[in-house]
Structure 1
Amino acid sequence: MKLAKKLSIATYSSLFVALGAISMQAQAVEVSGDITFVSDYAFRGISQTEEAPAIQGGITLAADSGFYVSVWGSSVDFGGEGTLELDVLLGWSGDIAEDWSADVGIMRYGYPNTEFEGSNFWELYGSVSYKDLTLGLAYSDDYYGNAGNYYYIYAGYSLALTDNLSIDFHIGHNELSDDSSASYLDYGVTLSTEVLGIGLSLAYIDTDIKDCSLCDSRVVFGVSKSF
């Protein structure tokens, strides 16, 4: 059964790569990127840096058709067993109706200098947005550390307080179907603004995991520059 699921993800990946390549060859491609400093890199509520600061950055090539390819990286700290995360995404995003938009794709999470087995994994993702409300789902058939089937269901809402100040609400459910005791909720609130072309953010992040210092509530500050 697991082999069938892996073949399914591989098939989706090949098809998406082919469609994306064909689309981007025939159209103008826009390049964008960013570099970010955060006081803690929290991924789905859990610190990836032992609660220490991280440097992050990414670059995206997007075609008029909506297809895009992105590379994103961050410093991490897994107790001396890895210092770099490097992810690759291929997806499509765009409007599907008035006030409605979607974003779907496949992503590979990579940890080039992490030595233990199962550190790299694939994930399918998709979301639908209506105005400022977003509902999304991600799935991996072999999650980080060979954890097996994993589902991430989340919701987010963005509220503009002023022309230059917004607040974002987020809640997500992490489901490990092979080990339901490891499933958990993560949630947070982020306040964002921009000053002289520099993005500033202040986030409150938490999970419902007990007795875990890397999963408890924290405030994360971020500074970013887009180009």
Structure 2
Amino acid sequence: MTLMKKLSVATYSSLFVALSAASMQTQAVEVSGDVTFVSDYAFRGISQTDEAPALQGGLTLAAESGLYVSVWGSSVDFGGQGTLELDVMLGWSGDIAEDWSADVGIMRYGYPNTEFEGSNFWELYGSVSYKDLTLGLAYSDDYYGNTGNYYYVYAGYSLALSENFGLDFHIGQNEYSDDSSASYLDYGVTLSTEVLGIGLSLAYIDTDIKECTLCDSRVVLGVSKSF
């Protein structure tokens, strides 16, 4: 990442923090969070735990205006090159019209105990939802591992099967502008429910990447508790 890009990202994030802090000082702030266990942490179709289970958790502070600050963490396994992912998000979400909503922000992906260059990176994200359909875009000017410009275009659809069961469909295109051969598609479907206040999910996840064990199709079980 060039110095100018670093300064630009730092400026945006500092401004966002200042605006968020100013807003939250004058508004009621809601605190929410969750703790989750998954049988495999698959990020955009690729296992981040060498196909092993992961423990995850998040905390969000949200103001009435829609501004929010979130921290999210997960155990990871990069073959001895890191065991923790810790992300910070600053954003805004809310209704923009009848049946329409939006979510925009900036996110810092951090790997505190990973030492190789380019492991930490910034990403801008945004999505628009109409009822149960969501279209989104994420962009990084220097993605994980110093791979340069990266775009993630995705779509999701949520279907209520019954009062207690839901089915979520997802498809996303990972586009590497500096190396188009690395670009790939990920997709999946997730069945979810809640039993005695515990969230349960069963997901099928896959990519179109060939000859990659960590990118193959997989079934992921999730158990979560929100508070």
Report the TM-score range of the alignment, normalised by the length of the smaller protein.
over 0.9
Give the Cα separation in 2 of the matches to 1:217 and 1:105: 30
Which position in structure 1 is the counterpart of 2:92? Answer: 92
Which position in structure 2 is the counterpart of 1:53? Answer: 53
- Alignment deviations for residues 144-174 of structure 1 (CA, whole Å, 9 cap, x no partner): 1111111100000000000110000000000
Which position in structure 1 is the counterpart of 2:147? Answer: 147
Q: Read off the aligned partner of 1:190 and give its amino acid letter.
A: T
Give the Cα separation in 1 of the matches to 2:7 and 2:20: 20
Aligned length: 227
* 8 A Cα contact 1:6 1:141, kept in partner: no
SS in 1 for 2:35: strand
Structure 1 residue 2: deviation in Å? Answer: 4.8
Structure 1 residue 9: deviation in Å? Answer: 2.6
Which position in structure 2 is the counterpart of 1:220? Answer: 220
Q: Which moved more, 1:69-78 or 1:2-11?
A: 2-11
Q: Read off the aligned partner of 1:172 and give its amino acid letter.
A: G
Which structure 1 residue ranges, 4+ long, deviate > 6 Å from structure 2?
none
Structure 1 residue 28: deviation in Å? Answer: 0.8
Q: Which moved more, 1:79-88 or 1:9-18?
A: 9-18
Q: How does 1:25-36 map to 2 (within 5 A)?
A: 25-36=25-36
Q: Which moved more, 1:1-10 or 1:53-62?
A: 1-10
Give the Cα separation in 1 of the matches to 2:4 and 2:136: 24
Q: How does 1:32-43 map to 2 (within 5 A)?
A: 32-43=32-43
Which position in structure 2 is the counterpart of 1:183? Answer: 183
Percent identity of equivalent pairs: 89
TM-score normalised by length of structure 2: 0.98
Instruction: Give the CA RMSD over aligned residues.
Output: 1.1
Which position in structure 2 is the counterpart of 1:74? Answer: 74
Q: How does 1:1-20 map to 2 (within 5 A)?
A: 2-20=2-20
Which position in structure 1 is the counterpart of 2:123? Answer: 123
SS in 1 for 2:210: coil
SS in 2 for 1:210: coil
Q: Read off the aligned partner of 1:87 and give its amino acid letter.
A: D
Which position in structure 1 is the counterpart of 2:193? Answer: 193
- Is residue 2:165 matched to residue 1:168? no
Q: Read off the aligned partner of 2:124 and give its amino acid letter.
A: L
- Alignment deviations for residues 89-109 of structure 1 (CA, whole Å, 9 cap, x no partner): 010000000000000000000
Give the Cα separation in 1 of the matches to 2:8 and 2:57: 30
TM-score normalised by length of structure 1: 0.98
Structure 1 residue 4: deviation in Å? Answer: 4.2
